[in-house]
Structure 1
Amino acid sequence: MDSIGIDQFRDRFQHWIDRVIDRHQPLKVTGQSGSDFIVVSAKDWEQTQETLYVLQNSALMKQISASLTTHVTGKGYQPSAREIDEIFGV
């Protein structure tokens, strides 16, 4: 994560906002009093919140783990050729 001073952020505000949004990388801004804050795009914030929700939900994590196990062992559901065609609109 890049870090800049508050004056540098204020002087080129739009540049830094565009950079955060375009690169999908947060920016740490350090204030003169030593207090810091992070600038992150709304989309990235929402995605992070969704990820945290899944990681904190033990039922969802168990489902993901079980699904991974069946996938790795090849014991998961195998759709028929007709079902695959239907899924892809063929």
Structure 2
Amino acid sequence: METVSVNRFRENLKAFVEEAVSTHTPLKVTRRAGEAFVVMSADDWEREQETLYVLQNSSLMQQIADSAATHRKGEGYRPTEGEMDEITGIRG
């Protein structure tokens, strides 16, 4: 993650914001007498929040682990060819 001073950030605000949004790379901004902050796109923020929610939800994490174990064993539900076409949108 790139780090810039708050003064440099202020001088180049538009360019730094455009870069964070277009490259999906967060930017750490440091302040001389205080806490640093991070600039990132709203889409990236929402994605991070969703990831944190899943990781902190023990029930969802157990479902994922159970599903991975079933997949490794080659067991579990297998969609029909028609269902796969509907899911992927390849045909029809």
Q: TM-score range by the shorter chain?
A: 0.7 to 0.9
Structure 1 pair 85/37, CA: closer, same or farther in 2 (3 Å)? closer
Q: Where does residue 65 of structure 2 map in the other structure?
A: 65
Q: Where does residue 33 of structure 2 map in the other structure?
A: 33
Q: Where does residue 51 of structure 1 map in the other structure?
A: 51
RMSD (Å) for aligned C-alpha atoms: 1.5
Between Structure 1 and Structure 2, how many residues are aligned?
90
Q: 1:29-53 CA distances to partner (integer Å, 9 max, x unpaired)?
A: 1113253111111111111110000
Q: Where does residue 16 of structure 2 map in the other structure?
A: 16
Inter-partner Cα distance in structure 2 for 1:63 and 1:56: 13
% identity of equivalent residues? 47
Structure 2 unaligned blocks of 5 or more? none
TM-score, structure 1 normalization: 0.88
1:85 deviation in Å? 3.7
Inter-partner Cα distance in structure 1 for 2:6 and 2:57: 37
Structure 1 pair 86/42, CA: closer, same or farther in 2 (3 Å)? closer
1:19 deviation in Å? 0.5
Inter-partner Cα distance in structure 2 for 1:82 and 1:30: 54
